[in-house]
Amino acid sequence: MKTIIPVGPYHPLQAEPEFFKLEVEGEKVTGLEINIGYNHRGHEYLAQRKTYEQIIFLVERICGICSCSHPFASVNAVENLAGIEIPERAKYIRTIIGELERLHSHFLWVGLAGHFMGYNTLWMWFWRYREPILELFELITGNRNHYAMMKIGGVSKDIEDEDISSIQKTMNELEAKTVMFIKAILDDPVIAARLGGVGILTKEDAIKYGVLGPTARGSGVAIDVRKDDPYAAYDLVPWDIIVFEEGDLLAKAKVRLLECLESIKIIRGCLEQMRKGEIETKVEDIPPGEGIGRHEAPRGEVFHYVRSDGSNMPLRYKVRAPSYMNVPSNEVAVKGYDIADAILVLASVDPCYCCTERMATLYDGNKKLTGKDLLKLSWKKTEQLKKKFSHSENKLASLL
Amino acid sequence: MKKPKLRELGEAIRALIGGPYTTKFPFAPSPAAKRFRGIMVFHEEKCIGCGACVEVCPANARELIDDLEKKTRKLTHIQERCIYCGQCETYCKWEALEHTQEYDLAQLTKEGYTNYIEKELVTCELCGEVITTKDQLLWIAKKVGELAYSNPTLTLILTQELGITEKIPERGEFVPYRSGHLRLLCPKCRRSVYLNEIWGY
């Protein structure tokens, strides 16, 4: 017998609105229907009414966790459009900020994964060591989140010499801790049993669904914008892509954990190679044309498209976040596993719904509903339900 | 199985000795970093009222309202709309805006969230349009040096500020002749006043 279990619109685990319809037979999941669109904020429309400098701060607020990846892709897009070459020091600073963000985002995910598994110690551990990264952000950029660091033609703030030593100190501490965590997670038999062989996304499916970032790299697809189409300083410092072939949850966790070490490597490389100099080039004006910008966010590739008519506002602005590609792959990854595992599989792609939702379809778009109308609709539906379940109404009436 | 657990035990002991990692914020001060962008303050004496901050603000947290009756320009900073991006601070050439290290915004009343400054406005004597604030005209006069004396608007403002004339004399009906060009005029009216001489009235 087929049963449908609704998950959401308020997710039982994450504080973001999305709606999954799990079709189950007994304990086994046989199908999944994904419904998103509860969090549409009209960012693209807003972006078309702001200047290029203001857009950076708008797109920064698309996502709270990876609040540097959208501005990064945005400045890449505008620089691609206008053909701006940025100074070398700005490249290194951008890379450092991007990698620090990947570190704190992966720490957050692994911590949350521990929380979902019921391993709360892991959660507390990771979030405890995520804190120094956020403090580092406050020291360098002036804010724990929403750094306001990106600027068309460079970066808005320089990293000062006295901050470099504190970055290096934090990185040394963090590396020791990350190595310990990796060992602790990989040795743990409970984690291995809970994550190993669960939610397998095969390489074929990964390519078919076009998944990105750690989700793809966990399934043996070696794609990474930082290597495939280098920007900023990613081609100037040595680092490796982490790829695992298994495609299960453990592989995705391993990819993220080992990427933390790679991030530390990139940051160290940047700090070593960084020389004193200019941090921004002067931008004269934006010519008419089209530009694309990409950035490997912690969740995968962020893609921004901008079309200009030569004025200071874009004609069209398009944002595609990695979760848009990753979330549909849950359809195949979740099939055949238990309900308890399904929750972990849904969270394994590190979904970010506020990043994803760029479009909402309105049925009967001309109709405007006020609060009163909505109340009336609600009453109407209650009446309908009452008629449908009239026996329960009688029961209620007798109780009251 | 047993050996790896020692590692976690070490971490547990460290946590036990070290005490809680969290800060005791409401009971003990937790100062923000030097570069932290907190509550914004105005330095009224430095501000010239040019309105550059209003132009660059991505969140419409700043408002510029010209009051033609009172002849004042009101620059408002609406704290609850502010996204603390620091754009206005970056673009203010006169360092009249500053993010402080204060981050505790919680309070019971809405008072004090919206702070503003008022600047004296100079209007055109002919059409009544806004020229700009008095402070900005003085700044321009200072910047261009003696060249300021080639522009009657700047000269009038400057002589008044230097105490040479107490008040700009009020004249009756204004006829846009060249003879009456020593007035406070907006660039558009000044052009027409000079051109009227050539083209006729």
Contacts of A143 in chain B (CB under 8 A): 36-37, 84
Beta carbons of B35 and A184 less than 8 Å apart: no
Q: Which of A53, A128, A156 sits opposite B21 (nearest CB)?
A: A128
Query: What pLDDT is recorded for position A326?
Result: 92
Query: What pLDDT is recorded for position A390?
Result: 66
- Domain annotation for chain A: domains and CATH numbers: 43-332+339-356 (1.10.645.10)
Q: What percent of chain A is modeled with pLDDT above 70?
A: 94
Beta carbons of A128 and B4 less than 8 Å apart: no
- Residues 6 or more apart whose CB falls under 8 angstroms from that of A292 comprise A76, A77, A80, A303, A304, A305, A306
For A309-330, the pLDDT digits (tens) are 989 999 999 999 999 899 999 9
For A140-171, the pLDDT digits (tens) are 999 998 999 999 999 999 998 889 999 999 99
Q: How would you write chain B as a 3-class SS string? A: CHHHHHHHHHHHHHHHHHCCCCCCCCCCCCCCCCCCCCCEEECCCCCCCCCHHHHHCCCCCEEEEEECCCCEEEEEEEHHHCCCCCHHHHHCCCCCEEECCCCCCCCCCCCCCEEEEEEEEEECCCCCCEEEEHHHHHHHHHHHHHHHHHCHHHHHHHHHHHCCCCCCCCCCCCCCCHHHCCCCCCHHHHHHHHHHHHHCC
For A15-56, the pLDDT digits (tens) are 788 888 889 998 999 999 988 878 888 889 999 999 999 999
Query: What pLDDT is recorded for position A133?
Result: 94
**The tokens of B48 are what?**
């010239």
Residue A115 has pLDDT above 60, yes or no: yes
- Domain annotation for chain B: domains and CATH numbers: 34-123 (3.30.70.3270), 124-201 (no CATH)
Query: What pLDDT is recorded for position A388?
Result: 75
Beta carbons of A138 and B21 less than 8 Å apart: no
As a whole number of angstroms, the distance between CA B181 and CA A264 comes to 69
For A234-254, the pLDDT digits (tens) are 999 999 999 999 999 999 999
Query: What pLDDT is recorded for position B116?
Result: 87
For B25-79, the pLDDT digits (tens) are 888 888 888 889 988 888 999 999 999 999 999 999 999 999 988 899 999 998 8
For A256-281, the pLDDT digits (tens) are 999 999 999 999 999 999 999 999 99
Q: What percent of chain A is modeled with pLDDT above 90?
A: 60
Residue A396 has pLDDT above 60, yes or no: no
Type and span of the H or E element at A143: none
Beta carbons of B35 and A148 less than 8 Å apart: no
For A189-233, the pLDDT digits (tens) are 888 998 988 999 999 999 999 999 999 999 999 999 999 999 999
- CB neighbourhood size of A315 (10 A): 13
Q: How far is B40 from chain A (nearest CA, A)?
A: 14
Residue A361 has pLDDT above 90, yes or no: no
pLDDT tier for residue B200 given thresholds of 50, 70 and 90: low
Residue B159 has pLDDT above 80, yes or no: yes
Residue A14 has pLDDT above 80, yes or no: no
Mean pLDDT computed over every residue of chain B: 85
- CB neighbourhood size of A197 (10 A): 16
Provide ipTM, 2 decimals.
0.84
Work out whether the CA dihedral A216, A221, A222, A224 comes out positive or negative.
negative
Beta carbons of B84 and A184 less than 8 Å apart: no
Query: What pLDDT is recorded for position B170?
Result: 64
Query: What pLDDT is recorded for position A98?
Result: 94
Question: How many beta-carbon pairs under 8 angstroms link A with B?
Answer: 62
Burial A138-159 (b: 16+ CB within 10 A, else e): bbbbbbbbbbbbbbbbbbbbbb
Q: How far is A156 from chain B (nearest CA, A)?
A: 9
Beta carbons of B84 and A189 less than 8 Å apart: no
- Specify the higher pLDDT residue, A94 or A370: A94
- Specify the higher pLDDT residue, B124 or A100: A100
Mean pLDDT computed over every residue of chain A: 89
State whether residue B86 sits within 8 Å of chain A by CB. yes
Query: What pLDDT is recorded for position A181?
Result: 87
Contacts of A157 in chain B (CB under 8 A): 35
